[in-house]
Amino acid sequence: MNKSGTSIVSDTTADAVALATGPVAGPRLNSDLVQLVIAITLVIIFGLVPNFVGNPYWTQTLQILILYASVSVLQNVLLVDAGQASFGQGAIFGLGAYAAAMAFGLYQMPWIFAVGMGLVGALIGGIIFALPALRVQNFHLGFVTLSAAIVFPQVVVILNDWTNGINGIIVSVPQLTNAGLFGASYLSIVITCFGIAVLCFHYALRRTRFGRRMRVAAASPEAAMALGISPGVMRSVAFIVTAIGIGFAGVMYLPIVGFVTPSAFSLDLSMLFFFAIVVGGRGQILGPILGIIILYFLPNVVFAQFLDYRLLAYGAVTLAVVLLFPDGIVGSFEKWRIKRRHATPDGGLRLDRMIADDLVPAAVGKPVTQAGDVVVKVRGGSKTFGSVVALDGVDLDIRRGEIHGLIGANGSGKTSLLNVLSGFSRLSGGTVSIKDAEITRLSASQIARLGIGRTFQTPRVFSFFSIWDNLRVGLDANPNVDAQLKKRAGALKGRLDTQSAEWLPHGQRRLVEVMRVVLQNADVLLLDEPAAGLSPEERVRFSELLKYLRDTLGTTIILVEHDLDLVLGIADRITVLDTGRVVATGAPAEIASNPAAKHMFVKARNA
């Protein structure tokens, strides 16, 4: 933007110019919008054109294509945005279809009521899928959903008395299928609108606070919890919301085909929805549509005489794509486009300056409550893993507004203590309280909401987000964003929204995490070996930044760090741990001369 912001952090010399590198007129980081436009155009063409041509076969085939593609879009949301691999969405589709068909075809309820029944049926399916997802992930969840897909048609047959079993149900809805507006049937219009709505939903979801938090939870449950997000809630919501959409698609399938049997919702259907994403490109807006065209449309229409080979084609195309283009068709194209046009960010990017210049001033002004009172208190904290004692009767007091160093040899319990403080593990005995609230039994996300932020040994920076979105998830977790912070953050957006986080060097990634925590409005920061991997110059700047945060925001910083020079240089007090016990606590000078801790400061080179 401009270089007017006076740099408080470290030197103001030549590299301040780096700030002037401002908004790069770079390429878009993702082509979501372009993909959305292409996808919507395709849906409109597929949905409406055949009506005017007046070919029932094409009308029907393309309507089904749109429905399948819509289901795949929702499966894409589930798989990529929420991180849930389900092989059973065909069963949800079937639940929607069957619930509506039974209501309308067998029990003669009004159509609109049948639609409602279909949605309820799918919703119940979504809840059933969400339950195991709370407990298990990956292939376990894959197998559960897979078996649900296998079992669904069997259940329909077993419930013969209510579902008419293998004989199926006839569903004729003439008021929908007859020609309506301008020669297009209402059905075509509804389906086209639904396809567009689903695509817009995916596009918009990614641009909402909720969508970003969902993606964070999918990519890194730990980072999500540190931002106050409960990954289980995110998963459940994803299953339930997508189930409703998929259920609607199932309901609309009825008037198209006019007849349902259990075999229409076999495992193949679930596979089609899943494979379409893989082939089209996981996470790409346009991916599912392309995937359905390749896996459903081409075999059924263009190669109709080879219909028997359809299943073979599914499998073969998918396998080939996994092996040759693991990112799928759209994804591979995207990767190539970004690689070609996007240079690695210039080394001059000074995120530490941005924290000092843009973020902190916005956050200053809130009262720094009585510095000096105890903000984190551990009493008799012990933690055992099986027979291994990680923490053994730890007493710890952290005062407000201090930088407190936790040091000790490998395995002394530093990281265990940090994990206990942030709720990632629980004490086996003793208590922890933060800001007078007892947190011993709270979950990590509950603790995060109390204003405790943490960073990780490996920075949790998400390459699918721009740098700005990586920061924004911090702002998303901030319960009271005031106008000033918003404005200041907006300034960052201009600079960082077009920069991919993928090629950020490590030192900058570390700073992204710190900026995120600042935006989160956390007043207690837990830093897990933040200097690891930083160059000597970066270490100096980083220490300056921490001091700056303490002095201007009154942030309490708890620092686990191996670099003793750094800790001695910035810490107000230091606690030394050895085999899970506190062996010394005090000011750096006291610690350096304390016999219990002395050996740690005997430098290797002086040995």
Binding segment for other proteins (CB under 8 A), chosen from 70-78, 131-139, 349-357, 445-453, is 131-139
Q: Which of 94, 125, 231, 413 binds other proteins (CB under 8 A)?
A: 231
- Beta-sheet strands, E only, within 246-343: 259-260
To other proteins, the closest distance from the beta carbon of 156 in angstroms equals: 11
Sign of torsion, CA 230 236 239 245? negative
Looking at residues 448 to 477 of the shown chain, list those that interact with other proteins (rule: CB under 8 A): 458
To other proteins, the closest distance from the beta carbon of 315 in angstroms equals: 3
Nearer of residues 201 and 464 to other proteins, judged by Cβ: 464
**What is the number of residues in the chain?**
607
List, in sequence order, every residue forming a beta bridge with 175; answer none if it has no partner: none
- Does residue 168 touch other proteins according to CB under 8 A? no
- Does residue 343 touch other proteins according to CB under 8 A? no
- Does residue 271 touch other proteins according to CB under 8 A? yes
Q: Rounded to the nearest 10 degrees, how much is the dihedral formed by the CA atoms of 436, 439, 444, 448?
A: -10
Q: Buried b vs exposed e over 412-432: b needs ≥16 C-beta within 10 Å?
A: bbbbbbbbbbbbbbebeebeb
Question: How does DSSP assign 435-476, residue by residue?
Answer: TTEE-TT--HHHHHHTTEEE--SS----TTSBHHHHHHHHHH
Binding segment for other proteins (CB under 8 A), chosen from 244-252, 253-261, 466-474, 598-606, is 598-606
* Tokens (6 digits) for 606: 């002086």
The C-alpha atoms of residue 517 and residue 507 are separated, in whole angstroms, by: 16
Q: Which of 5, 27, 132, 258 binds other proteins (CB under 8 A)?
A: 132
To other proteins, the closest distance from the beta carbon of 338 in angstroms equals: 15
- Does residue 385 touch other proteins according to CB under 8 A? no
Please, what is the Cα angle at 118 between 114 and 121, to 5 degrees? Answer: 135
Q: Are 52 and 184 in contact, with CB atoms under 8 Å apart?
A: yes
**Best CA proximity match to 511, nearest among 552, 548, 541:** 541
The C-alpha atoms of residue 6 and residue 225 are separated, in whole angstroms, by: 35
Q: Which residues contact 340 (CB under 8 A, 6 or more apart)?
A: none
**Best CA proximity match to 262, nearest among 88, 61, 94:** 94
Looking at residues 278 to 337 of the shown chain, list those that interact with other proteins (rule: CB under 8 A): 278, 308-312, 314-316, 318-319, 322-323, 326
To other proteins, the closest distance from the beta carbon of 448 in angstroms equals: 17
To other proteins, the closest distance from the beta carbon of 420 in angstroms equals: 19
To other proteins, the closest distance from the beta carbon of 539 in angstroms equals: 8
Nearer of residues 267 and 597 to other proteins, judged by Cβ: 267
To other proteins, the closest distance from the beta carbon of 66 in angstroms equals: 24
To other proteins, the closest distance from the beta carbon of 256 in angstroms equals: 25
Ramachandran area for residue 372 (φ above 0: left; ψ -120 to 50: alpha; else beta): left
- Does residue 140 touch other proteins according to CB under 8 A? yes
Looking at residues 392 to 451 of the shown chain, list those that interact with other proteins (rule: CB under 8 A): 409-411
To other proteins, the closest distance from the beta carbon of 542 in angstroms equals: 13
Nearer of residues 27 and 533 to other proteins, judged by Cβ: 533
DSSP H or E run through 494: helix 483-496
Q: Which of 41, 138, 369, 370 binds other proteins (CB under 8 A)?
A: 138
CA separation, residue 170 to residues 33, 188, 258, 260, 536 (Å)? 40, 20, 6, 7, 74
- Does residue 157 touch other proteins according to CB under 8 A? yes
Nearer of residues 272 and 362 to other proteins, judged by Cβ: 272
Query: How is residue 85 annotated by DSSP?
Result: -
SS (H, E, C) 199-252: HHHHHHHCCCHHHHHHHHHHHCHHHHHHCCCCHHHHHHHHHHHHHHHHHHHHHH
To other proteins, the closest distance from the beta carbon of 318 in angstroms equals: 4
The C-alpha atoms of residue 144 and residue 141 are separated, in whole angstroms, by: 5
Residues binding other proteins: number (CB under 8 A): 65
- Does residue 387 touch other proteins according to CB under 8 A? no
Looking at residues 515 to 554 of the shown chain, list those that interact with other proteins (rule: CB under 8 A): 529, 531-533, 535-536
The C-alpha atoms of residue 474 and residue 227 are separated, in whole angstroms, by: 7
The C-alpha atoms of residue 128 and residue 125 are separated, in whole angstroms, by: 5
To other proteins, the closest distance from the beta carbon of 28 in angstroms equals: 23
- Spell out, one character per residue from 22 to 61, where the chain touches other proteins: x when CB under 8 A holds, - when not: ----------------------------------------
Looking at residues 500 to 519 of the shown chain, list those that interact with other proteins (rule: CB under 8 A): 504-506, 509
Q: Which of 221, 245, 280, 580 binds other proteins (CB under 8 A)?
A: 221
- Spell out, one character per residue from 557 to 576, where the chain touches other proteins: x when CB under 8 A holds, - when not: -----xxx------------
Q: Which residues bind other proteins (CB under 8 A)?
A: 85, 87, 131-132, 134-140, 142-144, 146-148, 150-151, 154-155, 157-158, 221, 231-232, 267, 271, 274-275, 278, 308-312, 314-316, 318-319, 322-323, 326, 409-411, 458, 504-506, 509, 529, 531-533, 535-536, 562-564, 603-605, 607
